[in-house]
Chain A
Amino acid sequence: MAASLDAAGHDKGRTLYRAKCQFCHGIRGDGKGPAAESLLEHPVDFTDSKFWKDDVTKKIYETITHGKEMMPAFDLTPDDIAAITSYISHTFKNAPQDDKPGRVGQ
């Protein structure tokens, strides 16, 4: 799944992120969405550089497909997941980080 992003892919990724991810992971991708405060453990912070180590594409794919801890599994196609992966990579990977403890990536 390549992380390259054309305009249509970006729009699709943004739409899917907004509908599926934003409520917990936040508009800024920092793991501080509206629902984050209600969870016993905070969602992943996509702006944290530690999240982007290792094979992120595989990690995101498996987490969305199988779920992990508080996050349920989603019925999304590989193309959908690739669009989300590209979107969060391009949007949040190098975003300024809010260094609050307890918001580290997994």
Chain B
Amino acid sequence: MIGTHRTQVVLVLGVLASLELVLSTTVQAIPSFARQTNLPCNACHTVFPELTPFGRMFKLGGYVMSKSGKAYEFPLPLAGMLQASHTTAKGLTSGVAPFDSANRATDRLALPQQASLFFGGRIYDQLGAFVQGTYDGASNHLVLDMTDIRYADNTLLWNKNLIYGVTLNNGPTVQDVWNAIPAWGFPFSSSSVAPTPAAAAKIDGGLDQQVGGIGAYVFWNNAVYLGGAVYRTARNGITEPLGAGTVTEDVVDGVAPYWRLALEHRWKNHFFTLGTYGMQADIFPSGERSGPTDRFTDIAFDAQYQFMGTIEPEDPPEHEKPGGENKPKAGKHIITAHATWIHESQDRKANVLLGNTANRSDSLRSFKLDLNYYYRSHVGDIGGSIGCFSTTGTTDHLLYPAGPLDGSRTGSPESSGYILGAEYRPWEKTKISLQYIVYDRFNGARSNYDGAGRNASDNRTLYAVLWLMF
């Protein structure tokens, strides 16, 4: 049975890879950003989705940079993405992906894990958008995924460049351009069926696609970024479409303010960023729409280092090589490191009254650090990454109860571990990733963490994913 299944997988992946080969050699005009700008993917991405300095500028500029002399794009800037993955771990959750509905506990194919259609590019003049509609293979649902619609322009302020803009998006940090922050942070893809720790800060994906927000930002002198936004639950009104397809688990009372400050500095081809971001949200207890709320206050700091390589002096210009195309110069060795630390204060005045938490005040602290390296070789981009993560916080036996697989015997949210990754981008719009996650602690303990005899080491996960962009 498994042998037959693997044969099917190999066959399907082979067909997809062949299709991608054909597409990559005959259709230079996709994905949509590349089509719009006439630039290769690696002008904006180290390896997608991580952004280069120029990619950050493209996004801050409103996704509107275009080769066209018209004020709009025709044909529409559409693109697609298909992710197929395979997860190996103990105790996988059930999946309902069309090609893998079997409920096996130790290895699972997600085909697709995710299939997305994007509108990515200029809408009109200085108005552009990144809109992702996704079919989630694990939940068998269509959702409006990452969405960021923005108007941006640039001018001079105190004789220095100023980019300014407004953004309508569906999650705190979705609008951000640095990859240390949660929405676009490491790891860039994760298994949808592997066990994951119970606790995470609200700003770390807790409100994604459940809210709609409007914000403004400025980036002055290529050095100072300041932004802010307010979010409301996307259940009605003008923000309702931003939550399309997503089940609202957390209803925000009023609006949740979000803020962001980042300082960037370039030294030669090294780019350094230090930043801070945060959010405060008053959230009703599950199932409630009125009455007392819990207040979550997130304060976070982040840092990023990026080395974009050096242009080899012995390399002749591309357009002078025989048969050479007019490709932009780029370094061959790319290094990026990210770090973020989030502190969340939880004033659970509502849930403590309902008996859902033992403490009136809880807290969470999470830390993530990762380093990746890519080499742009003549057979594609090859690279790897290493990262570590840690979550600590207040012990609360009601908030983190014992239970098989995802419970906590100790009532503690503490989890920590390491992630090793290997990546290969053989063609411009194809990426193959292998990821290995090791847990030191999981939901508060190394051994018997769930009270049912499961150890943190049992959650080691091997995850392979194929990304196709077209």
Query: Interface residues, chain A, CB within 8 Å of chain B?
Result: 16, 19-20, 22-23, 26-28, 32-35, 37-41, 66-77, 80
- Given the contacts A68-B326, A70-B329, A34 and B53 also touching, CB distance less than 8 Å: no
- Minimum CB–CB distance for B121 against chain A, Å: 14
- Residue A33 contacts which of B43, B68, B161, B318 (CB distance < 8 angstroms)? B161
Tell me the bound Cα distance from A76 to B70 in angstroms: 9
Q: Kindly list chain B residues whose C-beta atoms are within 8 Å of the C-beta of A72.
A: 37-39, 67, 328
Known: A27-B155, A68-B319, A74-B69. A34 touches B161 (CB 8 A): yes
Q: Which of B162, B318, B329 contacts A41 (CB 8 A)?
A: B329
Complex CA–CA separation, A34 to B162 (angstroms)? 7
A26–B53 CB distance below 8 A: no
Which residue of B has the minimal Cβ distance to A71? B328
Chain B residues proximal to chain A, CB less than 8 Å: 37-39, 43, 52-54, 56-58, 60-61, 65-69, 71, 125, 154-156, 161-163, 219, 222, 266, 269, 308-311, 317-319, 326, 328-331
Q: Find B269's partner among A23, A34, A40 (CB 8 Å cutoff).
A: A40
By beta carbon, the residue of chain A nearest B44 is A38
In the complex, what residues of A have CB within 8 A of residue B56's CB? 38
A35 & B319 in contact (Cβ 8 Å cutoff): no
Give the distance to chain B from A27, nearest Cβ to Cβ, in Å. Answer: 6
Known: A37-B222, A39-B54, A41-B329. 7 other contacts (CB 8 A): A19-B71, A22-B154, A23-B57, A27-B155, A38-B57, A73-B38, A80-B69
Residue among B38, B71, B317 with most chain A CB within 10 A: B38
* 27 A–B contacts, CB within 8 A, in A order: A19-B125, A22-B154, A23-B61, A23-B154, A26-B161, A27-B155, A27-B156, A32-B161, A34-B57, A34-B219, A35-B57, A35-B61, A37-B266, A38-B52, A39-B53, A39-B54, A40-B269, A40-B330, A40-B331, A41-B311, A68-B319, A69-B317, A69-B318, A72-B37, A72-B38, A72-B328, A75-B69
B351 to chain A, nearest CB (A): 45
Known interface pairs A26-B161, A27-B155; A38-B53 also in contact (CB < 8 Å): yes
List chain A residues, Cβ under 8 A from B60.
34
Most buried by B among A23, A69, A70, A75: A23
Bound Cα distance from A16 to B329, whole angstroms? 25
The residue on B at minimum CB distance from A70 is B328
Interface core residue of A20, A28, A37 (most chain B CB under 10 Å): A37
Q: How far is the CB of B179 from chain A (nearest CB, A)?
A: 15
Contact A34 B319 (CB under 8 A): no
State in angstroms the CA–CA spacing of A73 and B219 once bound together.
27
Residues in B with CB closer than 8 Å to A70 are 43, 328-329
Known A22-B154, A37-B222, A40-B331; judge A16-B54 contact (CB<8 A): no
Contact between A34 and B61, CB atoms less than 8 A apart: yes
Q: Which 8 A-B pairs have the closest CB atoms?
A: A38-B53, A72-B38, A37-B222, A35-B57, A38-B54, A70-B328, A34-B161, A76-B69
Q: Are B161 and A69 in contact (CB under 8 A)?
A: no
Which listed residue (B61, B68, B161, B311) contacts A40, Cβ 8 A? B311
Assembled-state Cα–Cα distance A71/B161 (Å): 20
